[in-house]
Amino acid sequence: MLWLAIFFVVPLGYLAYQSLESGNVDFGYAFTWAWGNYWTAIRDYRTQFIRSIEFAGIATVIAFVVSYPVAYWIAFRGGRWKNLLLLCIIAPFFVTYLIRTLAWETILSDHGFVVRTLGNLHLLGVLGQNGHILSTGTAVVAGITYNFLPFMALPLYVSLEQIDPRLIEAAEDLYANKIRAFLRVTFPLSLPGVVAGTLLTFIPAAGDFINAQLLGGTQNHMIGNVIQSKFLELSDYPSAAAMSFILMGAILAFVAIYALIVGTEQLTGTAV
Amino acid sequence: MTDHISRRTFLRRAAASGSLLTVPGLLAACGGGGGSGGGTSTVTNKLAKTLHFSNWPYYMDTNKKNHTNPSLVEFQRRYGVNVDYVEDINDNAGFYNSKLRPALSRGQSTGRDIVVLTDNDRYLGLMLKQGWAEKLDKSAIPNIKNLIDVQKHPSFDPNRDYTLPWQSGMTGIAYNKTLTDPVLSIDDLFGNPKLKGKITCLNDIGDAMTLVMLSNGDDPAHVTDKTWNAAFNRIKQASDSGQIRSFTGNDYGPPLARGDLSAAMSWSGDIPQLASPHIVWNVPKDGGAIWTDNMLIPKGGDVYTASVYMNYVYDPKVQGLMEAGDPSRNIVGIYYIPPVKGAGVWAKKFNPPVGSNPLIFPSTETLNKMHLFDNAALNNEKYLTQWNNLISG
C-alpha cells in the first residue's frame, strides 16, 4: 500500500494538480482550476489522440495474429526446444529500445529489400506514400508491432502451455474435428493470455512516441509526441499534464469496454 | 504556489546535481561566489584570480596529448588569471532553467562570469529582457573591431552592449548529387515534384523560418504576422502535400548519406562529419540562416575579467589557433565558424586544410547571404505553439 501511495498516487496527484494550472514559463504557473486545458487539448489534438488509438489498435491486432501461431507452436510442438525458442522471442529485448527502433530505418530504407519487394508486388502504393515506407504510418505501426510483440507472445504462451492436452484429445475423440476442438476448447482456455497480451501491448503502444518520432513522417505523430514536445520544448506543463490524463482516461475506457465484452473473469483470471 | 515552486526547483536541482558529479562541475559549484558574488556589479579594472566560464562541449581548442586547452593555458600565462572552464551547457532551455534562472531570479550570482547561449532560441533574448546580463566593458575590448559585419547589429542586442559571438554555424540546403540535380533554392526544395517525399525540413523554428521567409522575399529579422503566416503556410502546404517527408533535428544525416533523402534543410557543421563525397552543402539562392552562440556575463559576474577574456579571443591570431588547431602540436580546433575577422589568415598557417574549408571559413560573399531570425518572434507564444503543432502533426 505504501509502495502504491509513494510511486503511484503521489505523482498522479501532482500531475492532476499541474493539469489545472495556468500561466507561462516566464512568470511561472499558478493553480486556477483551469479545466480549459482539457478542452483545448481535445480540440487541438483530436487527430493525434485518434491516431494513437488507431496505430496501437492495428499493432495489437497484427501482433496477436503473428504471435498466436508462434506461441501455439512453441507450447504444443516446441518439445525440448521450448526454452531456446522462448529465448529467441525475448532476445531482441537485450538490445536497447532505441537501437531496435532505429534498425527499422535500415530495414525499411527506400533502397532496401522490403521496399523493393513491396514495389514488385505492387503493394507500395497501398502501404507507402510517394514510393517510400519510412516516414509513413505503415512504418510506425511496423515499429510498434515489432517492439511490443514479446508482450503479446509471452502471456499467450503461458496460457497455452497450461492447457491440459488431454482436454483437447478428449474433444477430438468425442465429437470434434481439429478446427472445432481448437475453437471450442483450446482458444477459450487461452483467453486469459489473449486478454493479458492485448492489454500489455495496447496500453504502452498508445502512449508510445519513439516509433512515431524515428519512423514517422509529417502526418504520423502520436499523442505521446505532442506531450513530449509540450513538456520538454514548450515547457507548457499544464497542457501536457492534461493530455496525459485524457490519454489515461481514453485507455481506461477502452479497457473497460474490452472487459465488458470478454468478461471480467478473464482479466482477473490471468495468473501470468 | 510557493510549495509548487520549491518543489520544482528542488527537482531541477536534483536533476542538475547529476551533471555536477564531475570534478570540474563540483569545482564550479563550490566556486559559487568566486566571480564577484552579490547581485550588483562593480566595474573595476582589477583582474580576478579566476574566470568562471561555462560553455558547450567540444567548443574549445584541445591538446589531444595532455587534454589541456592551449588557448586557456596561454590566457592564464599572459594575464595571470586562472580559467575554471566547465562544459556544462547541453541545451539552452536546460541550462537556463537549472543554472541561470534559479539564482538570478532571486538576485543571486550564478557563480559564472561567462556563459554561452544561442541566438536562435528564446533564452538568450530572455536573459537580456529580464536584465540578467551585465553590460560589457568595451574599453577593455578594443578587439571588438574585429567582429565580422553580419554580427554587428543583432535584433536582441543592437549595439552588442551585452553579448559577443563565440562561434556560428550556417543553415542551408544539402543534397546528394548522385540522386538529384543541384538543389539551390527553397523554391526547388519545396516545389520540385521529383523531390516529393525525398526531402526533410528542420524542426528548429528559427532555421526553417529564416530560409522560407528569405525565399518569400520577406525579412526574417523583422517578423510580422503577415510574413509569419506566409512562411508558415508554405511549410504547412509542403508538409501536407507529402513533399516534406519529416521534420528533423540533425537526424537527417544518416538517411541523406544512405540515399533515402535526396536533399535536406541542413546545418553546415553536420556535413564535414558525414564525410560523404556525394553530399554537397550550399547557401540557398535567396540566402541562408546563421545561428550564433553568444558569450554574455550573467548578473554578478566579473565584468572586467570577462571583458579582458573576450578581448583575448577576438585577437585574430588567438582565434585562428582556437578554430583550426595545429596538427604539429596535437591541437584540435573548434571547426565551427569564427566571428573574428582575420582569423582565417592565421588558421591557414596553423592548419591549412581546415583554414581553407569553406564550411568553416566561409567567404565574405557567403557570409553576406546569411541572415538572423527575429528574436521577438522566438518569444511569441502564439508562433511557438503554432510551430510545435505543425512539427508534431
**Contacting residues of B for A243, CB less than 8 Å apart:** none
Contact residues for A200 (Cβ-Cβ < 8 A; gap 6+): A148, A151, A152, A155
What is the Cα gyration radius of chain B?
A: 21
Instruction: Tell me which residue of A97, A51, A102 sits closest to A225, measured CA to CA.
Output: A51
Q: Give the tens place of pLDDT for each residue, B341-375.
A: 999 999 999 999 888 888 888 888 888 898 988 88
Structure-block grid coordinates of residue B258 = 544512405
pLDDT level of residue B140 (50, 70, 90 thresholds): very high
Choice among A27-36, B9-18, B148-157 with the minimum mean pLDDT: B9-18
B65: left (phi over 0), alpha (psi -120 to 50) or beta: alpha
How close, in Å, is residue A60 to chain B by CA atoms?
23
- In DSSP notation, A52-72 reads HHHHHHHHHHHHHHHHHHHHH
Q: Give the tens place of pLDDT for each residue, A65-104.
A: 999 999 999 999 988 999 999 999 999 888 999 899 999 9
Q: Is B1 in contact with A30 (Cβ distance < 8 A)?
A: yes
Domain boundaries, chain B: 2-152+297-314, 169-290+370-391
Beta strands B288-296; B163-176: pairing state:
antiparallel
Question: Is B7 a residue whose pLDDT tops 90?
Answer: no
**Residue A25 confidence (pLDDT):** 66
User: In chain A, which residues have pLDDT < 50?
Assistant: 270-272
How close, in Å, is residue B232 to chain A by CA atoms?
14
**Residue A266 confidence (pLDDT):** 66
Q: Is A132 in contact with B245 (Cβ distance < 8 A)?
A: yes
The answer to whether B335 and B360 have CB atoms below 8 angstroms apart is yes
Number of helices (H), then strands (E), in chain A: 15, 2
How close, in Å, is residue B9 to chain A by CA atoms?
12
| Residue carrying the nine cell digits 508510445 | A208
**B273 in A contact zone (CB under 8 Å):** no
Q: Which of A26, A30, A131 minimises the CB distance to B197?
A: A131
Put simply, the chain A residues between 128 and 147 with a CB less than 8 A from any chain B CB are 129-132, 134-135
**B254 in A contact zone (CB under 8 Å):** yes
Find, in chain B, the residue whose alpha carbon is nearest to that of A236.
B385
Instruction: Tell me which residue of A169, A194, A184, A166 sits closest to A72, measured CA to CA.
Output: A194
pLDDT level of residue B25 (50, 70, 90 thresholds): very low
How close, in Å, is residue B377 to chain A by CA atoms?
14
- Does the ipTM exceed 0.90? no
b/e A145-172 (16+ beta carbons within 10 angstroms → b): bbbbbbbbbbbbbbbbbebeeeebeebe
Q: Which of A31, A130, A218 minimises the CB distance to B196?
A: A130
**B384 in A contact zone (CB under 8 Å):** yes
Q: What is the CATH number of domain B2-152+297-314?
A: 3.40.190.10
**B178 in A contact zone (CB under 8 Å):** no
The answer to whether A148 and A199 have CB atoms below 8 angstroms apart is no
Find, in chain B, the residue whose alpha carbon is nearest to that of A18.
B4
| d(C-alpha A178, C-alpha B368), whole Å | 78
Q: Is A230 in contact with B388 (Cβ distance < 8 A)?
A: yes
| Mean of pLDDT values over B323-336 | 90
**Residue B342 confidence (pLDDT):** 93
| d(C-alpha B220, C-alpha B207), whole Å | 10
Question: Is B102 a residue whose pLDDT tops 70?
Answer: yes
Question: Is B92 a residue whose pLDDT tops 60?
Answer: yes
**A103 in B contact zone (CB under 8 Å):** no
Instruction: Tell me which residue of B181, B141, B180, B182 sits closest to B163, measured CA to CA.
Output: B141
3-state helix, strand, coil in chain A (%, to 5): 75, 5, 20
Q: Which of A28, A132, A230 minimises the CB distance to B197?
A: A132
DSSP single-letter state for residue B133: B
Contact residues for B383 (Cβ-Cβ < 8 A; gap 6+): B205, B223, B228, B377
Choice among A120-124, B100-104, B227-231 with the minimum mean pLDDT: A120-124
Q: Is B258 in contact with A221 (Cβ distance < 8 A)?
A: no
- Partners of A91 in the β-ladder: none
- Partners of A30 in the β-ladder: A22
Find, in chain B, the residue whose alpha carbon is nearest to that of A218.
B246
**Contacting residues of A for B4, CB less than 8 Å apart:** 29, 31
Q: Is B255 in contact with A134 (Cβ distance < 8 A)?
A: yes
**Contacting residues of B for A221, CB less than 8 Å apart:** 392-393
Q: Which of A28, A219, A233 minimises the CB distance to B388?
A: A233
Query: CA A60 → CA A71, A121, A186, A195, B294, distances in Å?
Result: 15, 25, 21, 11, 49
Put simply, the chain B residues between 182 and 211 with a CB less than 8 A from any chain A CB are 196-198
Sign of CA dihedral A191, A196, A199, A202: negative
Q: Give the tens place of pLDDT for each residue, B35-64.
A: 333 344 455 688 999 999 999 887 899 998
Task: Name the fold adopted by A47-268.
Answer: MetI-like fold (1.10.3720)
Q: Is A132 in contact with B97 (Cβ distance < 8 A)?
A: no
**Residue B40 confidence (pLDDT):** 46
CATH H-level superfamily of B169-290+370-391: Periplasmic binding protein-like II (3.40.190.10)
**Residue B273 confidence (pLDDT):** 64
**B29 in A contact zone (CB under 8 Å):** no
**Contacting residues of B for A108, CB less than 8 Å apart:** none
b/e B371-391 (16+ beta carbons within 10 angstroms → b): bbbbbbbbbbeebbeebbbbb
DSSP single-letter state for residue A75: H
| Residue carrying the nine cell digits 521529383 | B194
Q: Which of B245, B254, B388 minimises the CB distance to A217?
A: B245
Q: Which of A31, A131, A135 minimises the CB distance to B246?
A: A135
pLDDT level of residue B393 (50, 70, 90 thresholds): confident
| Residue carrying the nine cell digits 556575463 | B297
| Mean of pLDDT values over B280-306 | 95
How close, in Å, is residue A197 to chain B by CA atoms?
29
Beta strands B244-248; B163-176: pairing state:
unpaired
pTM of the model as a whole: 0.76
**A105 in B contact zone (CB under 8 Å):** yes
**Residue A92 confidence (pLDDT):** 87
Q: What are residue B251's phi and psi, to 5 degrees? A: -80, 5
**Residue B14 confidence (pLDDT):** 34
Q: Is B388 in contact with A28 (Cβ distance < 8 A)?
A: no
pLDDT level of residue B17 (50, 70, 90 thresholds): very low
- In DSSP notation, B191-223 reads H-GGGTTSEEEES-HHHHHHHHHHHTT--TTS-
The answer to whether A135 and A105 have CB atoms below 8 angstroms apart is no
Choice among A10-24, A198-212, B192-206, B291-305 with the minimum mean pLDDT: A10-24
Q: Is B393 in contact with A219 (Cβ distance < 8 A)?
A: yes
